[in-house]
């Protein structure tokens, strides 16, 4: 099955590079391009791509608002892969709240960006390890919320689920988890699904934070 991809970036060279790259694949095709957030929203509504590769900084409506509008559309099935750069990390939380399914950094190898599109299209959430590390570091630096912050539940998690949670905390995708633990991708997805339920997590980043809170992963050293 071919994954239908829309490209949203205000830089023509970026769109052109991705378009040429995708044209050389057998399982991906570009079904439209947008240079602004507003154009991306309109394009998503018109062609219903499987994945929108979304830049954050665009003139007018930015990628975060465009992501929110695309993912909040009733019955929407389009998933958003956000392209970010190191100096845009302050936007990551906003994009997650807006409904982005994954993050990739623009200086990743091109093949890794293609892999990220495939991961997101398959229904997985993906965050580049470099972004994951910064998310954890940012979480560690944030002051504790007011009294009454609920502790993360840990009861009922199996040893295997702890291993999976640890790998999620390290930024691994489901396919990478399967490879690391010598299990099938379907089994990895099942473990991740149970973790969402048991930990009451809304998205993968919440699982990353939970892994930190449980001491399964450590924040990066300054």
Give the per-residue pLDDT at 162: 92
What distance in Å separates the CA atoms of residue 186 and residue 178, rounded to the nearest whole number? 8
Q: What integer is the mean pLDDT of 153-180?
A: 85
Q: What is the pLDDT of residue 134?
A: 62
State the pLDDT at residue 61: 92
What pTM was estimated for this model as a whole?
0.67
**What is the C-alpha separation between 39 and 9, in angstroms, rounded?**
10
- What are the angstrom distances between the C-alpha of 81 and each of 19, 64, 117, 121? 15, 11, 7, 9
- Share of residues in the chain with pLDDT > 90 (%): 39
Q: What angle separates helix 12-23 from helix 110-121, to the nearest 10 degrees?
A: 80
Mean pLDDT score of the chain, rounded to an integer? 81
What's the rounded mean pLDDT across residues 183-203?
87
**Which comes out higher in pLDDT, residue 173 or 133?**
173
pLDDT tens by residue, 109-159: 888 889 889 988 887 666 665 566 566 566 555 544 433 444 444 667 899
CA-based nearest residue to 81, from 45, 26, 121: 121
Burial of 48 (0-12, 13-18, 19+ CB in 10 A): middle
Share of the chain above pLDDT 70, in %: 77
Domain boundaries 3-123, corresponding CATH code:
3.40.50.2300
pLDDT of residue 153: 46
Name the CATH code of domain 146-213 (choices 2.60.120.10, 3.40.640.10, 3.40.50.980, 1.10.10.10): 1.10.10.10
33-47, 96-110, 185-199 — which one is most confidently predicted on average?
33-47
Task: Give the model's pLDDT for residue 125.
Answer: 64
The arithmetic mean of pLDDT across residues 17-23, rounded, is 91
Residue 100, CA distances (Å) to 106, 175, 218 in order: 16, 19, 25
Helix (H), strand (E), coil (C) string for the chain = CCEEEEEECCCHHHHHHHHHHHHCCCCEEEEEEECCHHHHHHHHHHHCCCEEEEECCCCCCCHHHHHHHHHHCCCCCCEEEEEECHHHHHHHHHHHHHCCCEEEECCCCHHHHHHHHHHHHCCCCEECHHHHHHHHHHHHHCCCCCCCCCCCCCCCCCHHHHHHHHHHHCCCCHHHHHHHHCCCHHHHHHHHHHHHHHHCCCCHHHHHHHHHHCCCCCCCCC
Q: Residue ranges per domain, the chain?
A: 3-123, 146-213
Distance of alpha carbon 222 from alpha carbon 220, whole angstroms: 6
């Amino acid at each position: 099955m071919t994954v239908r991809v829309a490209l949203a970036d205000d830089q023509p060279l970026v769109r052109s590079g991705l378009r040429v790259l995708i044209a050389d694949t057998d399982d991906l095709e570009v079904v439209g391009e947008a240079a602004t957030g507003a154009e991306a929203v309109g394009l998503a509504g018109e062609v219903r791509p499987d994945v929108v590769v979304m830049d954050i900084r665009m003139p007018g409506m930015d990628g975060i608002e465009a992501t929110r509008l695309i993912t909040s559309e009733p019955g929407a099935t389009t998933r958003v892969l956000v392209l970010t750069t190191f100096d845009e990390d302050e936007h990551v939380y906003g994009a997650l709240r807006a409904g982005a399914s994954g993050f990739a950094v623009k200086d990743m190898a091109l093949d890794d960006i293609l892999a990220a599109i495939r991961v997101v299209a398959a229904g997985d959430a993906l965050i580049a390890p470099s972004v994951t590390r910064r998310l954890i570091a940012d979480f560690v630096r944030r002051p504790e919320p007011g009294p009454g912050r609920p502790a993360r539940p840990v009861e009922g998690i199996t040893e295997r689920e702890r291993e999976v949670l640890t790998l999620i905390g390290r930024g691994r995708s489901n396919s990478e988890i399967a490879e690391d633990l010598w299990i099938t991708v379907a089994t990895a997805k099942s473990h991740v699904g149970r973790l969402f339920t048991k930990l009451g997590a809304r998205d993968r980043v919440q699982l990353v934070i939970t892994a930190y809170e449980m001491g399964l992963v450590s924040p990066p050293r300054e």
